Amino acid sequence: MFPKGFKTAGARGGISKKKDKKDTALFYSEFPCAAAGMFTNNLVKAAPVLVSTEHLKKSASDIRAVIANSGCANACTGERGLADARETCSYAAKKLALNQNQVLVASTGVIGQFLPMKAVKSGIDILLGSAGSGPENFDSASRAIMTTDLIPKVSSAQVKISGKTVSIWGCVKGSGMIHPDMSLPHATMLAFILTDAAIDKKTLASALSAAVENSFNCVSVDGDTSTNDSVFALANGASLCSKIKPGGRDFVLFSQALGKVCLELAKLIALDGEGATRLVEIRVMGAGSRADAKKIASTIATSPLVKTAIFGNDANWGRILAAAGRAGVAINPSKVDIRIGGLKVASKGMALNFSEAAAKKILTQKEILITLDLNMGSSFCSYYTCDLSFDYIKINASYRS
Amino acid sequence: MFPKGFKTAGARGGISKKKDKKDTALFYSEFPCAAAGMFTNNLVKAAPVLVSTEHLKKSASDIRAVIANSGCANACTGERGLADARETCSYAAKKLALNQNQVLVASTGVIGQFLPMKAVKSGIDILLGSAGSGPENFDSASRAIMTTDLIPKVSSAQVKISGKTVSIWGCVKGSGMIHPDMSLPHATMLAFILTDAAIDKKTLASALSAAVENSFNCVSVDGDTSTNDSVFALANGASLCSKIKPGGRDFVLFSQALGKVCLELAKLIALDGEGATRLVEIRVMGAGSRADAKKIASTIATSPLVKTAIFGNDANWGRILAAAGRAGVAINPSKVDIRIGGLKVASKGMALNFSEAAAKKILTQKEILITLDLNMGSSFCSYYTCDLSFDYIKINASYRS
């Protein structure tokens, strides 16, 4: 069930150079929303990131809409870029009879180019005329934010809170320049999460922060952190459930559902990563701390040698262990066990006489789990990535031109 | 002029699975050598790295030979790997009437497989029968250590010290898993530097350390730091120059010549990087410290998006700035100027209206210089890398099998 009180749309304003590609999206709530945003930690922050941060500071209990565009990142565009992002908000605000601080903005596409404001406005005009509630409109919005993505990425969950059905729907775009590192009031992944839960901005931010840390902040396509990464969560209370308070059972239920939506979206990003043929989960266990486990998992997940080996169906566990050894965490290599799927390929840092045929069979599957047990402690982290294929090169050697 | 008192050779013992590929090399001095070694900082250290470190600790003023092999890294091989590395030294030592501590060892190739000791010994036997002084033998040794390398990499320098001609000859292998991070008494890059200079082990180590920091430690093909990276410098004094003392003019001359040899070899690694079509120098200037400049240059040099753009001749400076922004150094993006060759493409973090045709012309050259001026301080660092092409994927999706 689509969250109550939300209308969404996707339209073509003419920003994207790809013919007929939808390039503007609207996420609109009929009621004021508690809102939370998490943004890139890259020091090079796009104008929409700065403007949305500003608006969240002023109006996080009273957000009504988000305008998103693909085709232009509005990053490295200086004062003019900031003015353009503000104008996007105020143009939509005026048409919707809102204050401009009630509108958030997000962009993805080429860095270093100015937003074609005429196309942006024409997109907004069409969006306002076509917005509707329901999955079809949300699907249209999720397609409008795609760049090199091949599939629209949508996930949803439902949870009962005080007898009412609360819905959480999210969509995300992101295929390249994917290595989100986001923190609160601060990814080019863009995610939009709509829910009709009743929750205040602080509690929503706390639930979102936990969900993002275990999902979007644990996915990498190419190790390049974007200037535009953003996750927005809007909660409008239209389910009429009782207010979700931090710490209680309702909070746990809501957080679990939100976590499920974010994790599904994050996995879809890796599966649809530029040139990806496989979704790979790197699970590091037996670590001294989750931070250590994440550092190692992230290093393995971004190793070009590991990723090309997976593309080649090669059980080259030596590359996996070598990547772990350079992660900057004090591990004892002679304690490390490595599994590919259920097959143990290395024990105590040394080769096992495993069946290459069995390994190849596992590696040709669409989803692959690689497990490292450091045998040092009890902390763990799962990190999601994809293989590195010829198509990644093809896509990125010619993206801008 | 080849350094006096050295004999080298390359031979096929049968370690490498590539038919007819030479796979063992000998670097031998007729006189005791002051020796210095720098080894990988990867926590996963191959057996030859551990054994050479041990032998240098005991005999760094009295080293006589290095045995190197390609085709097997002898990494992640536990106690048996250590025993094999020791046996390699002791077998050669016995044949050369030396103590086993006077022999160093280095390996490169597949991780997680045991050294085929019969092949190693048969290689050593041939080496001892064929070693000779002069460039041809050195060339043969430099070919024997190649794995995915397409060209043998040799560099040399001469310098006058106390009226005597001192020669420095070096060779290196390395094409993939290249992101050396080496420190004293610690690639799979392997470099062997022979000189007939008279210098003690400590002074040699100090000169080598400075040279490596500005060369091998500033080169990356794929960001993957190897378990086997090693640089060896052997100085046998056979030029009969007066002893080079730390700090003096002779030391400066020697260090400069050693620096030139290491830098040329490092650049050859990037130029011959797996799949490389271009040598790229990333020069970060105007930084607060060299460490900051290196961190940023290294992050840009390992960005898959930057490297594929260069392969595609695309002046995508936004990717360059985005990589700088995630390097973990406090920069001010709105102060950064970017040049591709002599062409300024971004000023104060924003696009300039540069000629795309002019940029493309620069980017199609074999060697490309990309300069970032942070406009924050006076420190700088040059980092060497290559583009990321279809061939990198081809080579690495099928390397082990």
Name the residue among A43, A45, A393 with its Cβ closest to that of B388.
Answer: A393
Mutate to test the interface with A, among B179, B189, B326 (most CBs of A within 10 A): B326
Q: Do B302 and A177 touch (CB under 8 A)?
A: no
Contact residues on chain B for A305, CB-CB shorter than 8 A? 176-177, 222, 224, 396
Active site residue A165: no
More confident: B225 or B259 = B259
Residues A216 and A285 in one domain: no
Question: At A168, which CATH number?
Answer: 3.60.70.12
- Whether A326 has a pLDDT exceeding 90, the answer reads no
CA B378, CA B380: separation in Å to the nearest integer? 7
**Is residue A153 domain-shared with residue A223, that is, in the same domain?**
yes
CB-based contact B76 A348, cutoff 8 Å: no
pLDDT for res A183? 62
ipTM confidence: 0.76
- Is there a single domain that holds both residue B318 and residue B356? yes
Q: Is residue A42 domain-resident?
A: yes
Question: Does B202 map to a domain?
Answer: yes
Catalytic residue list of B: 188
Cα–Cα separations (whole angstroms), residue B179 to A188, B366, B400: 27, 21, 20
pLDDT band at A111 (very low <50, low <70, confident <90, very high): confident
Q: What is the DSSP letter of A399?
A: S
Whether A397 sits inside 8 A of B224 (CB atoms) is no
User: Is B401 among the domain residues?
Assistant: no
Same domain as B135, residue B237: yes
| Residue after which a domain boundary falls, among B202, B237, B271 | B271
Do the domain assignments include residue B1?
Answer: no
pLDDT at B191: 87
Per-residue pLDDT reduced to its tens digit, B80-130 = 999 999 999 999 999 999 999 999 999 998 888 999 999 999 999 999 999
List the helix and strand counts (H, then E) for chain B. 11, 15
**Model confidence at B401: pLDDT above 50:** no
**Chain B hits for A176, Cβ within 8 Å:** 305
User: Does one domain contain both B335 and B357?
Assistant: yes
Query: Which residue out of A188, A203, A225, A227 is catalytically annotated?
Result: A188
Indicate if the pLDDT at residue A372 is higher than 90: yes
User: What's the CA gap between B75 and A350, in Å, rounded?
Assistant: 9
- How is residue A175 written in tokens? 């295929």
Pairing of strands B343-347, A279-287: unpaired
Closest alpha carbon within chain B to A111: B318
**Nearest-angstrom CA–CA distance, A53 and A127:** 23
The average pLDDT across B261-275 equals 90
Residues A161 and A200 in one domain: yes
Q: Name the residue of chain B whose CA is nearest to A180's CA.
A: B326
Facing residue for A321 by CB, picked from B44, B179, B389: B44
pLDDT at A370: 97
> Could you tell me what percent of chain A has a pLDDT over 90?
76
> Quick one: B251 and B296 in the same domain?
no
pLDDT on residue A43: 81
Q: Same domain for A181 and A157?
A: yes
**Distance (Å) from the alpha carbon of A336 to chain B's nearest alpha carbon:** 10
Which residue in B383, B182, B165 sits closest to B287, CA to CA?
B383
* Cβ contact A270:A368 at 8 Å: no
Confidence of residue B187 (pLDDT cuts 50, 70, 90): very low
B237 or A186, greater pLDDT? B237
Which residue, of A208, A240, A271, is where some domain finishes? A271
Contacts of B274 in chain A (CB under 8 A): none
CA A313 to mean position of chain CA atoms? 27
Angle at B354 between CA B352 and CA B357, to 5 degrees: 155
Q: Count CB atoms within 10 A of the CB of residue B342.
A: 9
Of B305, B324, B393, the CB nearest to A388: B393
A351 falls within a domain: yes
Look up the domain containing B116 and give its range.
Answer: 6-271
At which residue do the structure tokens 């583009």 appear? B387
Angstrom distance (rounded) from CA B279 to CA B290: 22
Q: How many domains does chain B contain in total?
A: 2
A88 and A224 in a single domain? The answer is yes
| CATH number of the domain enclosing A389 | 3.10.20.340
Q: Cβ(B229)–Cβ(B39) under 8 Å?
A: yes
Interchain contact, B318 vs A76, CB within 8 Å: yes
pLDDT (0 to 100) of residue A247: 87
In this complex, do A112 and B308 lie within 8 Å of one another by their Cβ atoms?
A: no
Where does a domain end: A245, A271, A297?
A: A271
**A393 chain-B contacts, CB cut-off 8 A:** 308, 311, 388-390, 392-393
CB B145 within 8 A of CB B171: yes
Say if residue A35 is in the same domain as residue A165.
yes
Q: Answer positive or negative: Cα dihedral of A52, A57, A60, A62.
A: negative
Whether A176 maps to a domain, the answer reads yes
Taking contacts as CB-CB distances below 8 angstroms, the residues of chain A near B334 are 78
Average pLDDT, chain B: 92
**Residue A401, pLDDT score:** 44
* Pick from A220-229, B157-166, B344-353: least confident: A220-229
Amino acid at B109: G
**Alpha carbon distances (Å) from A65 to A30, A60, A94, A124, B20:** 9, 11, 12, 12, 68
In a domain, A28, yes or no: yes
For B285, residues 6+ apart whose C-beta sits below 8 A from its C-beta are: B293, B371, B372, B373, B374, B380
Give me the mean pLDDT over the A147-167 stretch. Answer: 91
Q: Spell out which residues of chain B touch residue A183, defining contact as CB-CB under 8 Å.
A: none
Q: What is the mean pLDDT of residues B183-211?
A: 84
* A-B C-beta contacts closer than 8 Å: 215
Task: Say how many residues make up chain B.
Answer: 401
Is the pLDDT score of A184 beyond 70?
A: no
pLDDT tens, residue by residue, A71-93: 999 998 999 999 999 999 999 99
A1 lies in a domain? no
Residue B339: Cβ-neighbour burial (10 angstroms; 0-12, 13-18, 19+): buried
Residue B185 has pLDDT above 50, yes or no: no
Q: How far is A354 from chain B (nearest CA, A)?
A: 12
Looking at chain B, the whole-number percentage of residues with pLDDT higher than 70 is: 98
Q: What is the pLDDT of residue A399?
A: 61
B324 and B200: one domain?
no
pLDDT of A186 over the 60 cut: no
- What chain B residue is nearest to A303 in terms of C-alpha separation? B224
Assess whether B211 and B353 both reside in one domain.
Answer: no
Instruction: For residue B157, give the amino acid letter.
Output: A
